[in-house]
Structure formats: C-alpha cells, structure tokens
Amino acid sequence: MSAIEARDLTKIYRTYRKERGLWGSIKGLVRRRHEETRAVDHVSFEIDTGEFVGFLGPNGAGKTTVLKMLSGLLNPTSGDARVLGFVPWERRNEMKRQFALLMGQKNALWWDLPAQESLELNRAIYGIDRERFKKVVNGLADLLEVQDKMNVMVRELSLGERMKMELISALIHEPRVLFLDEPTIGLDVVSQKRVREFLRIYNEEHRIVTMLTSHYMQDIEALCHRVLIIDHGKIFFDGPLNQIIDRFSVHKIIGLTFEKEAARDFSAFGEVIEQTPVSVQIKVPRARVTEVCRQLLDACQISDINVQELPVEEVIRQLFGSRAGKNDSEPLTETIT
C-alpha cells in the first residue's frame, strides 16, 4: 500500500465580492455576490515509502493547499486522501505522531526561548522518552552543525540557524512522512547546501516519505528523482525529473569555440545567449539543431562545438510562462514506469 494516496482532491474557496463605494457596501448588506476559486482541482497521485518527491508550481498553483489537506489542516471540498492509512482531516493522534509539516515562512519554535527549551516542550507534547530524545536531538544537531547554538534564544539565531532548529523540531518524534514547504527560502547559499545535504542523508538513512516544494531548482535537482508539477490547481506532470526536458524543452543550446576571433552577428542562426571574441552560445529550436550546426561549420572556423539541453530551471520557467492564463488546460500526466 502507498504511504500517501490522493484521489480527486479538490479545494474550492468561496469569497465575497464587494462593489466599490458606500452604495456597494449597502447593496452587500442586502444581497452578497460571491466568487469561487478552485485552489486544487481533482488532484490524484500516490507516493511510496522512501520516496523523495519534488512538488513544483508557480505561486498560487495549489502546492501549499495540497500539503495542508494532506496534513489535516484543511478539509477538502471533495475527493479523498490517505496518509499512512489515515484520513488526514480526521486529525487522529496516531497520524499526528507519524508526520511533520515544516513551512519555511512559519515559525514552530518559541521566539523568546532557547532552542533547547523549545525542543523540550515538544518532547513533552509528543511524550518522547528523555533518553531517546537526547539521542535523536544530539544526532540531528551534529548533522546540522548547530550543537553550539542549542542554548541561544531562537530570536537571536540567524535565519539559517533557525531553519536548522525548525528541522530538528520537525524530526524529534521521528516521523514517517515529512512535508517541506520551501524550507530553504531566504537562506544563503551555504545554508541551503547544508540543509539539502542533511535532508538527503536523513531520507536515505530513515527511508521516510518526503514531499518538497521549493522555488530553488537546486533543491529539486539535488534531492528529487520524481517531480509533480501543478498549475491552476491541476497536476499536469508526474514523472522522473529528467523527463521534463525530453517532454517540454523545445530548444537546445549550441556552443562554439573559434580558432581565432570571430566578430560577426550570429542572430541569424538563433537567439544569442552569450558571446565573446572567441566563443558563442546560441539557443535554437530542437528541430533545427542539425541544420544550424551544418551552417555554422560552413560559415566559421570552429575548433570545438557542443550541443546542450536547456537547464531544467529554464525549461520549467518557460513552461509556466507558456501556461499562464490557461485555466482550463487538460492535465497531461506522465506516470512513473
């Protein structure tokens, strides 16, 4: 049985639409107009034990809403879900002890207490044995390199240190499912790398289910073999990360190095991304790569030529841009084989 199952999950928000001015307020007292927004629209997927899955989408696509429904914080309008066999929005204690939700923009630790005391409070809430608690916390603190910060007030920690403490807090009860909503947001490059490495090691050692949303493609590429992509509340891709390029990329990059300086305009061959006196990178449609390479070899004295795929981050950025405004697009789901 899958650790997480979602079947046609749908969440519709009903909001009051007020007309302008005093007269609009008076009319609203008599007859209110409402609008419905489908934040999540018939989302279905399954995740097995040990999987580390990236959950991608532009702002407002429905990522956080899905995680909140799977965590039991929101009730769906329709549809069904199971997390470790439990219905999340029933909020059973047995399930609460087996999952954790970490949101990069929300604080779970007490601001005016040292991190160690905040973790002690969580230990008491979860009823964790003290010896087991010490072993788990010390192990996590060593992995995250924050042993010397445990007695510092949370409000005095840097953003990176605070996020590491939030991770420890989320994992002290050793959950089987971990939901991460942009855990590296706002962190510097060094802290991002450290958090990514910790998550990779922890997932490999404990084989927990991990769902990660992030706007940093470095997080997704470093940690996730499988990705779900959601836009306008619909899942339109579910498959290996490397298939995104094969399926959605319509361009390739041709890189040239010249035997001597070549001061000429290459825009006739494609979009010039970068150019120096002795090299150039040109973005061309995939269907024209062979033809353009032949033309370049005839036109220039080339010492080296290479053809590359677009970075995954660029492909996804273009994909979201091309889908903007297509609220009624049919989901094009690619399932894992």
pLDDT digits (tens, 9 = 90+) for 101-151: 998 777 778 888 898 998 998 899 888 999 999 999 999 999 888 899 999
Q: Which CATH number fits the domain that encloses residue 255?
A: 3.30.70
Mean pLDDT in each 10-residue stretch from start to end of the chain (337 residues)?
Answer: 90 80 74 81 93 88 91 93 94 90 82 89 89 92 89 89 90 93 84 89 92 87 90 89 82 89 85 89 90 89 87 76 54 41
Taken in order 223, 228, 109, 50, the sign of the CA dihedral is negative
**Within-domain flag for 90:** yes
Q: HSE-up of 220 (CA within 13 Å, CB side)?
A: 24
Structural domain count, the chain = 2
State whether 298 and 205 are in the same domain. Answer: no
Nearest to 300 by CA among 269, 336, 337: 269
Domain that residue 231 falls in: 4-98+175-245
Share of the chain above pLDDT 90, in %: 39
Count of CB atoms situated within 10 Å of the CB of 65: 21
Average pLDDT value for the chain = 86
pLDDT digits (tens, 9 = 90+) for 282-330: 999 988 999 999 998 888 888 899 998 887 777 877 777 666 655 444 4
Supply the pLDDT for residue 46.
94
- What gap in Å lies between CA 120 and CA 97, rounded to an integer? 16
Supply the pLDDT for residue 51.
93
3-class DSSP assignment, residue 153 = strand
State whether 83 and 184 are in the same domain. Answer: yes
Q: Which CATH number fits the domain that encloses residue 203?
A: 3.40.50.300
Supply the pLDDT for residue 324.
61
State whether 94 and 189 are in the same domain. Answer: yes
| Burial classification of residue 168, based on how many CB atoms lie within 10 Å of its CB (0-12 exposed, 13-18 middle, 19 or more buried) | buried
State whether 222 and 264 are in the same domain. Answer: no
- What gap in Å lies between CA 288 and CA 91, rounded to an integer? 55
State whether 231 and 255 are in the same domain. Answer: no
- What gap in Å lies between CA 219 and CA 54, rounded to an integer? 9
Q: Per-residue DSSP letters for 71-101?
A: HTSS--SEEEEEETTB-GGG--HHHHTTEEE
**Within-domain flag for 22:** yes
State whether 179 and 303 are in the same domain. Answer: no
State whether 230 and 299 are in the same domain. Answer: no
State whether 187 and 221 are in the same domain. Answer: yes
Supply the pLDDT for residue 44.
94
Supply the pLDDT for residue 74.
92
**Within-domain flag for 225:** yes
